[in-house]
Amino acid sequence: MRKITKVSVLLAAIMMLFASCTTMNTTAPAVEGLAPTTDTTPVKKTTVAPASPYDAIHYGLFNDQKSESTEYPGLDGKSVAAITEGTYSIYIPENGQPKIPTVIVLTPNGITSREFAETETGKWWIAESASQGRFAVVFAEPQNGEWNTTLDPEKRNEAAFIKDIFNTIRVKALTDNAYINCDKNSVSLVGYAEGAEMAAYVAATYPTLFSSTTLVSPKAFDRAQAENLLAQKAYVHNDNWVDGYGNLLNGEVGMPMYVITKDGDKAVAEAIVDTWTTVNTNALAKAADTVKDVELYSATLFSDLSVAEISKLASGNARVQGYAGGTLRFRPDYTDRHWATFEGALEPLGLVRRWRVYTPTSYDAANPVPLVVVMHGSTSAITDIAEETRWSDLAEQKGFVVMYLQGYLTGKNLPKPGWSIMNTDPKTNADLRFIRDAVAWAKDYRNIDDSRVYLTGHSLGAMMTHTVMASPLNTIFAAYAPIGMFFAPQQIPYVNDTITPVWAMNGEFDMQKPFGEGGAYETGSAWAAYFGINSEEPEAVSQPGFNDGKFMTETWMNGVVPLVQVTAVMDSPHVYMAEEAQMIWDWFSCFTRNQESGTLRYKDVIVK
C-alpha cells in the first residue's frame, strides 16, 4: 500500500503503536528519566574473537571525530569548494554487527556532540543502541555553537558537513579510530530544536542519502528556502552523481518525515509536514519505483515520544539503490518466525560461520522444495544483501527456501567480511568447504530438492560464485547468477568441463560496465564460446514484464536453452536489485541437475 497523509488515520496508528512506551519532554536537551548506565569506553581491536567473529571491531563512544573535507559534488558533477570542517561523536555498540544501520542526530544550538552524549537524551540514545545492537548513533554538533540555518555561504555548508559524515561512516577501507561497517541503505536523520530545522534542510539537499527524517521540537522553518533546495537536481544514486534520469529533483524523492512536538510552534510543524506531503506526492507521481512497501509518512505528532520510540521510527526503513533516488522499503524483521540465524563450525575444528535461512509459510516437510544460496559482497553482510535483494519475499511467494551465507572477517587492523576467491581447491579454501557444508546442512534442516539448488552472489560474492563454478563443487548447483562482477573463463582456473547455466547482471554505473572491452556482454560471449555455442553477441532485448529499457538482456542459446545470459541494468550503480532476483528466479526454476547422474535439464530438455 502507498499512502500520503498528514495526521488522521496514520497519526492514530502510530500513537497506538507506541501507546505503551514512556514519554519525554521534547525540548532540547530532552529528559525522560535517568538513562541506564552504559559503558562507553572506546575499544579498538585489530583481530576478531574466534568465538564471536562477527561482533564490532571498534565499539564504545568516540568523541572529537573530525570532518575535514573541503569539497562536495556540484550540480555539474564537478567538485565545489565549501567549508565543511566540523566535529561529531560516534557510539558503536559492542554487539553491533557488520552493516549496521546508523542514526545521525543533529544536536541543538549551544551544545557540543560530547556534551550531548552526556545529557539524558544522549545517554538514552546510547542505551537504546547498546540494548540490542541494532543501530549505531552519530551526534553532530553546530559550528561555534550555532547551525547555519540561513545557509550563509560564508559559513559552514551544513549539508556538505553531514554528507561528509555519511561518506566517512560508509567508507569500506576506513582506518581511523572509529570504524563503522555501516549499512548505507539505512542511515536516518534526527534533529533536536535548531538541529531539527537544520536536519530538514539537509534532507531537502541530499534526500537520497537518508531512509527517514525525524524532527523533534523544531523552532523555525523557512519554507521558501526548503523549496529552493527541493527544486535542485537530486544526488540520485547515493554514491554516483548522474545527470539526468528525467532530471529527477530533490523534491521528487520520497522521504518519510516525522515532526514530533508537544509544546512547540504548531505553524512550524505544519509547514514542514505540508512541504513534504507535496514532496511525497510528487515522488509517487514521478517515479513509483522509488517506493515499494513503505507508506510515505509526512506526519506531525503533537505528543511526547521517548528515544526508544523515535529510534524505531528512525531505523525501520531502508533506501535501497537501483532506481534513481533509491527505493524506500521496510527493513526485514529477523525476529519473524520464518527467519532463523545460525552460527557455528560446520567442520571439525573449523571457523565459526554464520548463515541465515528463510522458510516460507507454505513449507511442508513432506514435500521437497528448491534452495537458493545467496552470498554478499566485500565488507557486506547477510543483513543488507537480504534487504536489497528481497530473495525472502520471493521465497514466500514461490515456496522455496533461501539461505544467506556470511563471509568470515579477515584482514589486518580492521578485519572485514569477505570471500576467498580464485582458489578452486576445497582442500585449501575454507569458503568452498563452508558453501558445500552449508548446502548439506540445509538438506538436513529442511526437505530440499537436491536437483534444484541454485547459487547467486553480489560483487565479491559474484566472484565467489565463479570460484564455485570453476571448482569440483560445480555440480552441487543447477544454475548460477553472479551480479555486479563477471569473470571470463580464462580469468579463473576452471577445473571441470561441466556445462553451467549462468546469468550475469551489471549496472550501467557498475565497477565492471556492461559495455565495451572487458565488459559483461563481452564476457558473456566468451562463456558462450567456452561452452561450444554460437558466441556472436545477440541483440540486447528489454526484459519483459519490467520497466521498458531498464533491463537489457543478451541471451546465448544452446538450442532452445538460454544457457548464458547477460543483463545491463540501465541507470543503476553497483547493487543487487529485488527485480533482478525476480528475473533470476524465473530462469533458475527452469533448470534441474540430477545429483546422481549429473544430468542437467532445462524444463524437459536435456542440456548437452
The per-residue pLDDT for range 553-596, each reduced to its tens digit, is 999 999 999 999 999 998 888 899 999 999 999 999 999 999 99
pLDDT score recorded for residue 304: 66
- Calculate the dihedral angle through the C-alpha atoms of 113, 117, 118, 120, rounding to the nearest 10 degrees: 130
Facing residues of 358 across strands?
339, 402
pLDDT score recorded for residue 7: 31
> What is residue 452's DSSP assignment?
E
User: How far, in Å, CA of 139 to CA of 61, rounded?
Assistant: 10
User: How far, in Å, CA of 54 to CA of 356, rounded?
Assistant: 14
CA angle centred on 601, ends 596 and 602, rounded to 5°: 160
Q: Is a pLDDT exceeding 80 seen at residue 170?
A: no
Half-sphere exposure for 476 (CA within 13 Å, toward CB):
24
Mean pLDDT over 258-285 rounds to 86
**Which among 299, 301, 297, 307 is positioned nearest to 328, based on CA atoms?**
297
How buried is residue 386: exposed, middle or buried, by Cβ count under 10 Å (0-12/13-18/19+)? Answer: buried
> What contacts 444, CB < 8 A, 6 or more positions away?
none
User: How far, in Å, CA of 394 to CA of 426, rounded?
Assistant: 31
Q: Is a pLDDT exceeding 60 seen at residue 76?
A: no
Mean pLDDT over 198-223 rounds to 94
Cell of 271: 509547514
Question: What fold characterizes domain 4-330?
Answer: Rossmann fold (3.40.50)
Of all helices (H) and strands (E), which one includes residue 369? Answer: strand 369-375
pLDDT score recorded for residue 132: 74
The rounded percent of the chain whose pLDDT value lies above 70 is 85
pLDDT band of residue 223 (cuts 50, 70, 90) is very high
pLDDT score recorded for residue 4: 32
User: For the chain, which residues make up each domain, given as ranges?
Assistant: 4-330, 339-606
Q: Is a pLDDT exceeding 80 seen at residue 163?
A: yes
164 versus 365: the higher-pLDDT residue is: 365
pLDDT score recorded for residue 73: 54
Q: Residue 487 carries which side chain, given as an amino acid letter?
A: F
The pLDDT tens digits for 172-193 are 555 556 777 888 899 999 999 9
Q: Does domain 339-606 have CATH number 1.10.10.10?
A: no
237 versus 150: the higher-pLDDT residue is: 150
Q: The pTM is what?
A: 0.89
User: How far, in Å, CA of 276 to CA of 274, rounded?
Assistant: 6
User: How far, in Å, CA of 57 to CA of 179, rounded?
Assistant: 8
> What is residue 525's DSSP assignment?
H
319 versus 32: the higher-pLDDT residue is: 319
pLDDT score recorded for residue 233: 85
pLDDT band of residue 303 (cuts 50, 70, 90) is low
Which residue's C-alpha cell is 573449523? 350
Q: 339-606: same fold as 4-330?
A: yes
Mean pLDDT over 272-284 rounds to 89
> What contacts 78, CB < 8 A, 6 or more positions away?
none
The rounded percent of the chain whose pLDDT value lies above 90 is 51
Q: Is a pLDDT exceeding 70 seen at residue 126?
A: yes
Helix (H, G, I), strand (E, B) or coil at 41: coil
The edge-to-edge listing of strands for the beta sheet with 100-106 is 4-5, 296-301, 257-260, 213-216, 182-192, 100-106, 136-140, 86-92, 58-67, 43-44
The pLDDT tens digits for 333-378 are 888 999 999 999 999 888 999 999 999 999 999 999 999 999 999 9
pLDDT score recorded for residue 121: 93
User: How far, in Å, CA of 183 to CA of 209, rounded?
Assistant: 11
pLDDT score recorded for residue 67: 82
**Which among 328, 334, 337 is positioned nearest to 294, based on CA atoms?**
328
pLDDT score recorded for residue 177: 61
